[in-house]
Amino acid sequence: MSETIRRADAPRVVVIGGGATGCGVARDLVLRGLDVTLVEYGDLGCGTSSRFHGMLQSGARYAVSDTGYAAECMRERRALAALVPQAVEQTGGLFVSLGEDPPDYADRFLVGCREAGIPVEERDPAQVMAEEPTISRDVRRSFAVPDATVQPWRFLNLIADDIRRRGGRILLRHAVTDIDHAGGRLSGVTVSGVNGTERLEADIVVNAAGSWSGQIARMMGQDVPLEMTKGSIIVFAHRLVGRAINRCRPPSSHDIIVPTGTVSLFGTTSEVVEDPNDTRVHPHEVQALLDGAEPLMPGARGHRVLRAWAGVRPIVKPASWPQGQPLPRRHKVLDHAAAGLKGAFTVCGGSWTTHRAMGEDVGNHVAAMFGINTPGSAAGAPLLDDGVAAGGWRPTAGYEAAERDDTRTHQLCECESVHRQVVADLVRAGVGAHFQDLRRRLRVGFGPCQGTFCASRLAALVAEITESDDLIAELQGFWSERLKGSAATAWGQQARQILLSDAVFRESFGLELRDDAHPRDHER
């Protein structure tokens, strides 16, 4: 397939926000032939797009509460798995009714799934409990649905590579400092990065900054009605279940466990916050999650919890929405021309699973504005050849290859089976000495040791390849971030592990912990 051809007179678009939504918007507009620049404050997906339970969901969770949205999720789940299969594990999902769950909900759930076009099969509870020995022995009914899990950073970086190959530009670690607008029209965006300040000429600005959309909108003199809810998640040290397992009850807190890589994620809490940077996890939230895990997974407190982290979900809040009613999860595209600013759009709400549809919706608005008939991502344009096999993500593949090829001694990270050569190739490809970027892309430090033993190997390997003067700071920052999430779960055996890890970094490496990390940097 040939690359997208961009016209010399193509409208110039600046997309603000490099999470799933921003990447979806940028790719759709690049496919339509527009001149696109994506601006991200940090690294791709370092905000809410990486602070969720990791599901590429079938929509079954919303089959009763919003059947239309459930159907959209199912369509998008298929589209994304076909687009980037390398980052998707086809785990499958289960919805289980326990004795304490509403007995009539299961029948409504079954009807809702069928109306939404979600493949659903009722399964024998005895068989399900045999297949998933860690879950409750009180399963009354169970339903299999096609949920999957996703590696968010790998997915977004493959999308970003495709955007660049098709002519788009991506600026990482660039803060938006000003948005020029006068006479009801946008003219440009000023950004600041490590190499100084740059002004980006713009005919269109798309605000896809997620939880920070309100801040960006205010820079344009606009208002975006958002409700921000913080959701906290705990990470169990082992893959305790084989499929994503939900409680079959109205969507609420503490009702889902998801296997991802070598660990399992359980969540989430829900708390309205005012600050999108408020991702601190408090002790009472961890205890509430453990309390919620026990009915679904008896003995949950006996399993080692590696860490806890949180993300802030931005949900559109209509002005007339009834007090106390759950807000709709569907996304919304706001055309600020209605408020006197032509060429400015904000897209928010939705979910990770529906980010491609969100990008398509924005693309349709922009295309209509300029009379562009070129199709965007709705045409199902595949990724260009990225040199990666199209098979689905298999967390066991690295271990199997190490055994098969007798390369176990070449593993940089044993917990996640990351080969030294894979890391070296990525360092040479441009990621360089940024430990956090390497961690996100390769899952280095995600496993049970939380980087205790692989961080020093990472530093040594990077030192062999680059001439960075910041390796000590990178190593220090790497451990500080790992410790922040682990400290929230420091009890029992986990506390001993943290003390050991801290001693390795402080005594063996002579490092002091960073104490100035912003809450926004509290990542997975």
| DSSP string for 502-522 | HHIIIIIS---------GGG-
C-beta atoms surrounding 471 within 10 Å: 17
- Take residue 314 and report the two structure tokens written for it: 């931005």
- Whole-angstrom distance, CA of residue 480 vs CA of residue 79: 38
pLDDT at 87 over 70: yes
- Whole-angstrom distance, CA of residue 494 vs CA of residue 213: 37
Check: CB of residue 302 under 8 Å from CB of residue 263.
no
Give 178-196 pLDDT, tens digit per residue.
Answer: 999 888 888 999 999 988 9
Q: Which segment of 1-5, 234-238, 307-311, 510-514 scores lowest on mean pLDDT?
A: 1-5
Distance from CA of residue 7 to its chain's centroid? 33
β-bridge pairing 35-39 and 12-16? parallel
Closest CA to 443 of 416, 423, 420: 416
C-beta atoms surrounding 465 within 10 Å: 14
pLDDT value, residue 508? 74
Check: CB of residue 190 under 8 Å from CB of residue 198.
yes
DSSP state of 40: -
SS3 for 315?
A: strand
- Take residue 495 and report the two structure tokens written for it: 């506390």
pLDDT value, residue 67? 95
What's the pLDDT band for 516 if we cut at 50, 70, 90?
very low
Q: How many CA atoms lie within 13 A of 149 on its CB side?
A: 27
DSSP state of 230: E
What's the pLDDT band for 520 if we cut at 50, 70, 90?
very low
Looking at every residue in the chain, the average pLDDT score rounds to: 88
- Take residue 132 and report the two structure tokens written for it: 């998933």
pLDDT at 256 over 90: yes
Give 386-396 pLDDT, tens digit per residue.
Answer: 545 456 777 77
Give 260-277 pLDDT, tens digit per residue.
Answer: 988 999 988 999 899 998
For the chain, percent of residues with pLDDT exceeding 90: 54
Q: Which of residues 76 and 470 earns the better pLDDT score?
A: 76
Which CATH fold would you assign to the domain 54-150+227-316? D-Amino Acid Oxidase; Chain A, domain 2 (3.30.9)
Instruction: Assess whether the region 12-47+153-225+328-379 and the region 54-150+227-316 belong to the same CATH fold.
Output: no
pLDDT at 405 over 80: no
pLDDT at 448 over 60: yes
pLDDT value, residue 522? 43
Which CATH fold would you assign to the domain 12-47+153-225+328-379? FAD/NAD(P)-binding domain (3.50.50)
Q: Which residue has the tokens 């759930």?
A: 109
β-bridge pairing 244-247 and 93-98? parallel
CA angle 222, 169, 392 (to 5 degrees): 105
Check: CB of residue 4 under 8 Å from CB of residue 167.
yes
Give the H or E element holding residue 72.
helix 67-83
Q: Which of residues 368 and 325 earns the better pLDDT score?
A: 368
Tell me the average pLDDT across 192-214.
94
Tell me the average pLDDT across 226-239.
91
- Take residue 391 and report the two structure tokens written for it: 């098979």
Q: Which segment of 108-122, 391-405, 482-496 scores lowest on mean pLDDT?
A: 391-405
Residues 6+ apart with CB under 8 A from 81: 56, 88, 90, 148, 392
What's the pLDDT band for 518 if we cut at 50, 70, 90?
very low
- Whole-angstrom distance, CA of residue 60 vs CA of residue 67: 9
- Whole-angstrom distance, CA of residue 419 vs CA of residue 439: 13
pLDDT value, residue 143? 98
β-bridge pairing 175-182 and 263-267? unpaired
DSSP state of 392: P
DSSP state of 86: G
pLDDT value, residue 8? 62
pLDDT at 406 over 60: yes
The pTM of this model reads 0.90
pLDDT value, residue 3? 52
What's the pLDDT band for 1 if we cut at 50, 70, 90?
very low
pLDDT at 517 over 70: no
pLDDT at 166 over 80: yes
Q: For the chain, which residues make up each domain, given as ranges?
A: 12-47+153-225+328-379, 54-150+227-316, 397-518
Tell me the average pLDDT across 494-505.
83
SS3 for 335?
A: strand
pLDDT at 216 over 50: yes
pLDDT at 2 over 70: no
pLDDT value, residue 514? 59
Check: CB of residue 352 under 8 Å from CB of residue 56.
yes
pLDDT value, residue 479? 84
